[in-house]
Chains A and B, each alone.
Chain A
């Protein structure tokens, strides 16, 4: 047992994020079973296992297909940018085609699958493969009635592959997302290592997750990790809990874009902090965002805005109205606007795209306006994962972040922000409507600022043709946060 622990090394798979949750990859020289119900991307996983081997590690592969025809696989993976035909020509990839022939198979007396083993070994030899994928075993069971023989034979295939020394991914079908590991109990006799792929309906949305159920004698992270299938890339796993929220806190201050707000924060936001701006619709959240962006551009810092609620034209027009020339800045490459409808992708898809844009643009400041728009398209659980993953990503890169969130009631305060979000943000700024002597005014306050003293008072602010104007503290009014406003006589 213990000697197993020492001897099992890992093979880096190369699928984005996978090796993080697998702590280095799949057990090398062994077979790992990948199970999932229909439509969970098992075939994509197999193809990518081989594709990344060829592209990243110069390891060739053999694909044993029981279900889909090689032609279909070649065609279906084109959208990921994998040119299987080219690899076949270069003797980097070989198919062993075991897909169902039109005729039925008649059985008379005992048999074995030595021919299949011989063909796989032959193909491995032909391309000098180090990786083998078998997709999917259920098809073998479906074809032969004698399951006892098939069980023994699959066990022999796994042993043969181990003897050849290749690392293997084998897929099997499941009937339900949280039922038995695999149909025909394949996992009991073929694999010490099991990965489960899921495609779960959660809050009217499909959500893909990957779970490493076991790696015998080797370490891995437990639990379900969300993943997405990205055009031109393939599978990308989001390794949430393996990303530690270890923030390099430094005390460099940056401007919020507004002098008085900087004073309220005792000298500006922290360089690597995430600020949440919460307010009802129309209170000025987007204005505060553009002020923050403009403040960055003013310092020569690249600033990026993800706008999920407004079009570029709207933002340009509004910014112009506040005296900020976004268009000129964008041309000067100091500002970049990314306007996307939240509904165009799942949260995982948004996350991966946003990360890619940040990697490419390398901004110093990032605004997400608003996270409420993203909350709308997701379940509570996947939203939480998204927030953690995105926040930890920008913190690792020491980017200053500003998120806006829409409060649902106009006056007073409902829940300031969803609890799990407020714990990962460093500062919270509230924008509120205040009814005051028969008129509606706006109030702003810094509710929380981690690691710094700050102005605790609520100030009135107005929005003019040159942007935001923060005025005197509203010292004669109390109860604004609770929505239960009281006036002091004076």
Chain B
């Protein structure tokens, strides 16, 4: 069965930091192509109410909404291994994330 993974990425405007974070999450998404991984990018400058609801204070912040429990990691997410570890993605259907297990 395919696990549904839902991520939200909060960024502020189109700074290089935002772009880098978006790029890094995109990498992860590509690696997880075979499973069901959804990423929503939210610009806190355009939608501060969303940041308020999610109680996000730092940007970029990546939130794993599903599976629960929720997990968060902040920064430009340049250390992809660390991101995977925190989000605990590595433990789901390990066979499928070939590209990330070098």
Contact = CB atoms under 8 A, between A and B. Distances in A.
A70 to B, nearest CB: 11
A333 B63 CA distance: 69
Interface string A313-339: 000000000000000000000000000
A115 B73 contact: no
Contact of B82 (A103, A108, A119): A108
Contacts of B69: 103
A118 B72 contact: no
A121 interface: yes
Interface string B1-21: 000000000101100010010
Contacts of A107: 73-75
Contacts of A420: none
Interface in B49-85: 49, 51-52, 55-61, 69-79, 82-83
Interface in B20-65: 20, 44-45, 48-49, 51-52, 55-61
B82 to A, nearest CB: 5
Most buried by B among A108, A116, A119: A108
B100 interface: no
B73 A119 contact: no
Interface string A93-111: 0001110010101111111
Contacts of B77: 108-109
A46 interface: no
Nearest to B73: A106
A101 B73 CA distance: 13
B51 A106 contact: no
A105 B74 contact: yes
Given A106-B72, A106-B86, A113 B58 contact: yes
Contacts of B49: 122
A108 B17 contact: no
A365 B57 CA distance: 59
A108 B79 contact: yes
B57 A113 contact: yes
Interface in A64-121: 96-98, 101, 103, 105-116, 118-119, 121
Given A98-B57, A115-B61, A108 B74 contact: yes
B58 A108 contact: no
Contacts, number: 89
B48 A103 contact: no
A123 interface: yes
A112 B17 CA distance: 9
Contact of B75 (A97, A109, A123): A109
Contacts of B78: 108-109
Interface in A409-457: none
A94 to B, nearest CB: 10
Interface string A107-143: 1111111111011011100000000000000000000
A115 B56 contact: yes
B58 A118 contact: no
A122 B49 CA distance: 7
A480 to B, nearest CB: 76
A105 B74 CA distance: 7
A93 to B, nearest CB: 15
B86 A111 contact: no
B12 A112 contact: yes
Contact of A112 (B51, B52, B58): B58
Given A98-B57, A116-B58, A119-B57, A111 B75 contact: yes
B48 A121 contact: yes
Given A112-B17, A118-B12, A118-B48, A98 B55 contact: yes
A66 to B, nearest CB: 9
Contacts of A119: 44, 48, 51-52, 56-57
Contacts of A122: 48-49, 51-52
A114 B55 contact: no
Contacts of B76: 108-111
Contacts of B74: 105-108, 111
Contacts of A114: 12-13, 44-45, 59
A97 B58 CA distance: 13
Given A108-B86, A112-B12, A118-B45, A103 B51 contact: no
Contacts of B10: 115
A109 B79 contact: yes
Given A103-B69, A109-B77, 7 more contacts: A105-B73, A107-B73, A107-B75, A108-B75, A108-B82, A115-B44, A119-B57
Interface of B: 10, 12-13, 17, 20, 44-45, 48-49, 51-52, 55-61, 69-79, 82-83, 86
10 nearest A-B pairs in the assembled complex, by CB-CB distance: A114-B12, A109-B75, A122-B48, A109-B76, A108-B75, A116-B57, A118-B48, A118-B44, A115-B44, A109-B78
9 contacts: A103-B69, A106-B73, A109-B79, A111-B60, A111-B75, A112-B17, A113-B58, A114-B12, A115-B56
